[in-house]
Amino acid sequence: MTSNSKVLHINDEGFVKNVKFLPSPNYDSRPKNSIISLLVIHNISLPPNKYGGKYIEQFFTNQLDFSEDPYFQKIKNLKVSPHFVITRVGRLIQFVSCRDRAWHAGTSEWRGEKKCNDYSIGIELEGSDHIKYTKLQYEKLNQLIDCLTTKYDIKDVVGHCNIAPGRKTDPGPLFNWDLINTGKNT
């Protein structure tokens, strides 16, 4: 992390201080005695390959007007959430407390342990498999990883593709794992 990077802090309630919080209704309690040990990197753009705007925030808070784009009909029955989204300009938004189970991983498995939502934190990057992520996104992602690995016993930082191979491809082939400042990723 560079010396001029803003250090993020997380409180005991699982919220990163001084970031925008948009409460998602799409979460529940983690199973008793679950230990947060995994960070999962995703990507999202709504509609696909279009950036900016209000649609991602609306989707994760169940406020998306499904008539605004034909693609939205394909996702209208989904109830999903990440813990965090990092926009193209490096803005961090939190949707679910890290203490709670966000609904980001779906059917998943890591190191023989199924149901990754139970023990992971989901981080969505505004993007797609077809365009490089921005320098600002990598900077904010590294700040967030530093914050979360300080608070929780994170063992691995992986892509959605790693926990749901064959089903998911994100964060995609253009995600540069070498720019992540932890030796824990795969």
Q: Which of 13, 68, 124, 139 is catalytic?
A: 124
Sign of CA dihedral 174, 22, 90, 9: negative
Q: What is the DSSP letter of 76?
A: T
Residue identified by tokens 């990754």 is: 116
> Is residue 57 among the annotated active site residues?
no
All domains in the chain, ordered by first residue: 20-179 (3.40.80.10)
What are the φ and ψ backbone dihedral angles of 121, each rounded to 5 degrees?
-115, 130
Residue-by-residue DSSP string for 110-151? ETTEE-GGGTEEEEEEE--TTSPPPHHHHHHHHHHHHHHHHH
The 3-state DSSP composition of the chain as helix, strand, coil percent (nearest 5) reads 20, 20, 60
Query: Which helix (DSSP H) or strand (DSSP E) does residue 85 occupy?
Result: strand 84-86
Q: What is the pLDDT of residues 17-51, one digit of tens each?
A: 999 999 999 999 999 999 999 999 999 999 999 99
pLDDT (0 to 100) of residue 181: 80
pLDDT digits (tens), the chain, 186 positions: 344 458 999 999 999 999 999 999 999 999 999 999 999 999 999 999 999 999 999 999 999 999 999 999 999 999 999 999 999 999 999 999 999 999 999 999 999 999 999 999 999 999 999 999 999 999 999 999 999 999 999 999 999 999 999 999 999 999 999 999 864 444
